[in-house]
């Protein structure tokens, strides 16, 4: 940590800063530059962020610059090997394959979910998505089927063998959702719902952590750190677009986060081009781009009849379009020397077609 002192500061004021630092057990390295006095804070302690905040309250302090990363466990520095999250015997997110997670935004009923699950499996999905609890900006919108939705998801899994990822929104629901889900999804609006993060940290299921709408990559990794430090090391990151001034797309999909995360963290990263763009026309090209950027997987909204979807039909692919998307992404994955996960496993017994 570096403390930059304002010009025209008295020796007494500077001494107050130094005393503050040393009183908390840190060492100092004072260096007079040409234009500014700089104080290096030496030592590693849990309260370094607090000290930084306190030092910024001094009138003579111009800036406090952090040097170390604030995330530890999820940092690439600590663990050199990339994390592979083992969802079940077949699905290992972060391995050499590209995973396709597909399904409807929301579980709307038994038939639509089973139809979708069977179709996406027949065309290369290795995990089924579908919301039973749905966050909605408006209180007047559909908010999901709840427990019944979870039961339908479990039935689809039993039927076609795909593990399921589904959102949990409430710390009180973590136990229930964990009984049904293979992967617990934390939605973008809950990325900094810290009590929910602490609760899924205690669950015995992998967590897919979506990036918040206005979260920096650092904040996202700190949210992952909550889960990791809380005891759950099976964390998958999911880029789903950030909020910018551009209104032509629902969000701005930040694909540069994918290679950036590969530098910063050992956790696997998948991309959701459906929410990331909010336009079905853009889903396939951005799925291709995500894989080319190095994503470990893509998550795609698929609905039998988007024109009847209870939520987000405008960004959902119908079966035909989903099949075409799979044809488009396969050569891209191959160009990246990564198979589509369903192609790489010996045991892809097609259950429907």
Report d(CA 171, CA 27) in Å as an integer.
41
Report d(CA 52, CA 65) in Å as an integer.
8
Determine contact, residues 79/224, Cβ cutoff 8 Å. no
- With respect to its own copies, which residue has the nearer C-beta, 113 or 186? 186
- What's the DSSP call for residue 284? H
Nearest distance from C-beta of residue 30 to its own copies, angstroms:
10
Report d(CA 340, CA 353) in Å as an integer.
18
Distances (CA, A) of 32 to 36, 43, 63, 196: 6, 20, 15, 46
- With respect to its own copies, which residue has the nearer C-beta, 162 or 190? 190
User: Segment 228-287, which members bind its own copies (CB under 8 A)?
Assistant: 229-230, 242-249, 252-256, 258-260, 263, 276-277, 279-282, 285-286
Pick the binder of its own copies from 112, 310, 325, 341 (CB under 8 A).
Answer: 310
Pick the binder of its own copies from 289, 299, 325, 341 (CB under 8 A).
Answer: 289
Pick the binder of its own copies from 334, 339, 344, 348 (CB under 8 A).
Answer: 334
Residue 176 binds its own copies, judged by CB under 8 A: no
Residue 204 CB neighbour total at 10 angstroms? 8
Count interface residues toward its own copies (CB under 8 A). 108
H and E: helices and strands count for the chain = 12, 14
Question: Which residues, 6 or more positions from 198, have their beta carbon under 8 angstroms from its beta carbon?
Answer: 171, 226, 230
- What's the DSSP call for residue 182? S
Determine contact, residues 26/41, Cβ cutoff 8 Å. yes
Residue 345 binds its own copies, judged by CB under 8 A: no
Report d(CA 161, CA 182) in Å as an integer.
12
Residue 319 binds its own copies, judged by CB under 8 A: no
Percent of residues in the chain assigned helix, strand, coil, to nearest 5:
40, 20, 40
- With respect to its own copies, which residue has the nearer C-beta, 236 or 255? 255
Residue 20 binds its own copies, judged by CB under 8 A: yes
Nearest distance from C-beta of residue 243 to its own copies, angstroms:
5
User: Segment 187-226, which members bind its own copies (CB under 8 A)?
Assistant: 189-190, 192-195, 213-214, 216-219, 222, 225-226
Q: Is 22 helix (H, G, I), strand (E, B) or coil?
A: helix
- With respect to its own copies, which residue has the nearer C-beta, 4 or 114? 4
Nearest distance from C-beta of residue 121 to its own copies, angstroms:
23
Report d(CA 59, CA 7) in Å as an integer.
11
Nearest distance from C-beta of residue 213 to its own copies, angstroms:
5
Pick the binder of its own copies from 38, 114, 154, 348 (CB under 8 A).
Answer: 38
- With respect to its own copies, which residue has the nearer C-beta, 107 or 160? 107
Residue 82 binds its own copies, judged by CB under 8 A: no
Report d(CA 170, CA 192) in Å as an integer.
13
User: Segment 114-143, which members bind its own copies (CB under 8 A)?
Assistant: 135-143
Residue 146 binds its own copies, judged by CB under 8 A: no
- With respect to its own copies, which residue has the nearer C-beta, 87 or 270? 270
Nearest to 270 by CA among 255, 252, 280, 283: 255
- With respect to its own copies, which residue has the nearer C-beta, 162 or 174? 174
Pick the binder of its own copies from 11, 67, 81, 158 (CB under 8 A).
Answer: 67
């Amino acid at each position: 940590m570096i403390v930059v002192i304002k010009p025209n500061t008295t020796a007494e004021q500077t001494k107050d800063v130094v005393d503050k630092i040393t009183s908390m057990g840190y060492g100092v390295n004072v260096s007079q530059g040409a234009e500014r006095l700089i104080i290096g804070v030496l030592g590693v302690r849990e309260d370094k962020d607090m000290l930084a905040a306190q030092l910024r309250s001094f009138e003579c302090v111009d800036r406090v610059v952090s040097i170390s990363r604030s995330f530890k466990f999820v940092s690439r520095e600590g663990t050199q090997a990339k994390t592979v999250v083992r969802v079940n015997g077949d699905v290992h997110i972060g391995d050499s394959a590209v995973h396709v997670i597909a399904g409807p935004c929301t579980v709307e009923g038994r038939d639509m979910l089973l139809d979708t699950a069977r179709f996406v499996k027949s065309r290369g999905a290795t995990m089924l998505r579908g919301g039973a609890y749905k966050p909605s900006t408006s209180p007047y919108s559909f908010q999901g089927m709840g427990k019944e939705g979870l039961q339908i998801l479990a039935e689809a899994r039993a039927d076609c063998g795909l593990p399921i990822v589904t959102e949990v929104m409430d710390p009180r629901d973590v136990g229930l959702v964990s009984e049904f889900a293979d992967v617990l999804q934390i939605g973008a609006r809950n990325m900094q719902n810290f009590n929910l993060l602490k609760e899924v940290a205690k669950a015995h299921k992998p967590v897919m952590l979506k990036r918040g709408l206005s979260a920096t990559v650092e904040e996202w990794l700190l949210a992952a750190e909550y889960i990791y430090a809380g005891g759950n090391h099976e964390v998958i990151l999911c880029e789903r677009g950030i909020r910018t001034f551009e209104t032509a797309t629902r969000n701005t999909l930040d694909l540069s986060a994918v290679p950036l995360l590969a530098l910063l963290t050992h956790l696997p990263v998948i991309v959701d081009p459906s929410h990331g763009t909010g336009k079905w026309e853009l889903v396939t090209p951005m799925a291709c781009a995500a894989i080319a950027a190095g994503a470990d997987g893509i998550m795609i909204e698929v609905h039998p009849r988007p024109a009847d979807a209870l939520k987000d039909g405008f960004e959902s692919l119908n079966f035909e379009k989903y099949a075409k998307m799979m044809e488009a992404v396969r050569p891209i994955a191959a160009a990246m020397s990564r198979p589509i996960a369903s192609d790489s496993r010996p045991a892809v017994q097609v259950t429907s077609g």
